Amino acid sequence: MKLFKIYFLILFFISSFLTVANAGTGVATVYKIQIYKIELCDSTSTTSVCNGATTIYSSTAGSGDIDIASTTAGEAAASLGNLNKATIGTSYTYMQITMNRAFTVSGSAADGSGTTCYTDKDGSATTSAKGSTSSASEVTLYAAIVGATGENRLNSITTLDDTTYTAGTVVSDDEYFQWRNVLASTLIITGGRIPAAKIAFGTTNAVGAADDMGNSCTTVGAAKGLYAASPDVTISFE
């Protein structure tokens, strides 16, 4: 069995969970994610849809917390999936990952007014999190902000088997989301040759602060407050 390894590397490939006007991002020192499914998508796929999906990892219990912020560059944060499940001869150009919207995060970011807000309170599926102006603590932040994200590669889903999503939209109360990313190069599995796969992350921009949270960083709403922004991501095969 060829396992699919998740690596942490410092990269400069930026992929946002959303485009938010009047928002800033900052460094996460803790950034724990939970993955439920990893799928390869064929060459007819786009940022909006994963066509011809081949599931290489699936668990209704989830992967458990994977802290990509604490992993040394070049080391595996986790091993998930089986590339032997890919169809020989099929061209795969995208990958779709299903995750929990709730991330465990510690860090800070400057809000829309330039105030540095530190993680302090838990957010929810409907409301971004309050912060503080002193020091960061480990809290639950939700990925993306409710509403149109400006990124078709991302959408929320109600259940793990939900297929009625709208690309580029996060629905209030949805606890899961799907995220699609183009592969660094087309993957074609040939007989007798199973490549090693790498997802590389960087967390320099992984805490988001949307809009003006006030001088005390406590003014929040569905589209205002601290949220889990995207790590820097690239996907490649060797």
- Tens digit of each residue's pLDDT (9 = 90 or more) over 48-64: 999 999 998 899 998 88
Residue 116 or residue 200, greater confidence? 116
- Tens digit of each residue's pLDDT (9 = 90 or more) over 63-113: 888 887 776 545 555 567 778 888 889 999 999 999 999 999 999 999 999
CA separation, residue 198 to residues 29, 90, 99, 186, 227 (Å): 22, 19, 17, 14, 26
Domain boundaries, the chain: 3-237
- Average pLDDT in the 181-196 region? 79
pLDDT at 8 over 90: no
pLDDT value at position 183?
86
What span, in angstroms and rounded, lies between the C-alpha atoms of 23 and 163? 31
pLDDT value at position 181?
86
Element (H, E) at 167: none
pTM above 0.85, yes or no: no
CA dihedral for 179, 181, 187, 192, sign (positive or negative): negative
pLDDT value at position 154?
87
Residue carrying the six token digits 């102006």: 133
